[in-house]
């Protein structure tokens, strides 16, 4: 790959920001409100879209990659040990970052057209977050967080 220009990087950052704002406006980016699917899924979608743009993807391919970023995190609970983001949050973000490159690669081998739109997956994130019991939303009362209370 050739060296990226500042303009290419700025456009990719703008794309990532737009994706994040679409989720924020139409659903949530808060683990306390919608679980880690909102935080990590959105971050993955942002990275997936930006990576696809940097690799020369079309608008359809960018949207497809971003859609996969959220779709593959639907239902993810927010359950940090000891109420801190070290476990499992940092690991989840690291794996989501690497997954975003897979989303870009997958979108780029297609024409970008797919069945579930980004808008539909954002609506699903919102509904899933609403349906998710509160003990799985950054309360440290459920999921992996309960193991931090045993020590």
Q: What is the pLDDT of residue 85?
A: 79
Q: CA 30 to CA 3: how far, in whole Å? A: 35
Per-residue pLDDT tens for 27-69?
999 999 999 999 999 999 999 999 999 999 999 999 999 999 9
Confidence tier at 151 by pLDDT (50, 70, 90): low
Distance CA 74, CA 42 (A): 10
Is the Cβ–Cβ distance between 117 and 63 less than 8 Å?
Answer: yes
pLDDT of residue 2 exceeding 90: no
- Show Cβ contacts of residue 60 under 8 Å, excluding neighbours closer than 6 positions: 111, 112, 113
Q: Tokens 């949530």 sit at which residue?
A: 28
* d(C-alpha 127, C-alpha 140), whole Å: 22
pLDDT in tens, 110-143: 999 999 999 999 999 999 999 999 999 988 889 9
The first and second tokens of residue 31, run together, are 């683990």
């Amino acid at each position: 790959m050739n060296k990226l220009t500042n303009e290419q990087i700025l456009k990719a950052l703008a794309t990532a920001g737009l994706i994040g704002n679409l989720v924020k406006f139409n659903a949530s980016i808060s683990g306390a409100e919608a679980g880690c699917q909102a935080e990590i899924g959105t971050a993955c979608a942002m990275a997936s879209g930006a990576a696809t743009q940097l690799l020369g993807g079309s608008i359809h391919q960018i949207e497809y990659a971003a859609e996969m970023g959220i779709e593959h995190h639907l239902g993810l609970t927010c359950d940090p040990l000891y109420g801190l983001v070290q476990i499992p949050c940092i690991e989840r973000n690291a794996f989501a970052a690497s997954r975003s490159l897979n989303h870009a690669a997958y979108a780029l081998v297609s024409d970008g057209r797919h069945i579930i739109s980004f808008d539909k997956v954002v609506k699903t994130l919102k509904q899933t977050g609403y349906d998710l019991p509160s003990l799985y939303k950054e309360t440290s009362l459920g999921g992996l967080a309960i193991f931090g209370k045993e020590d």
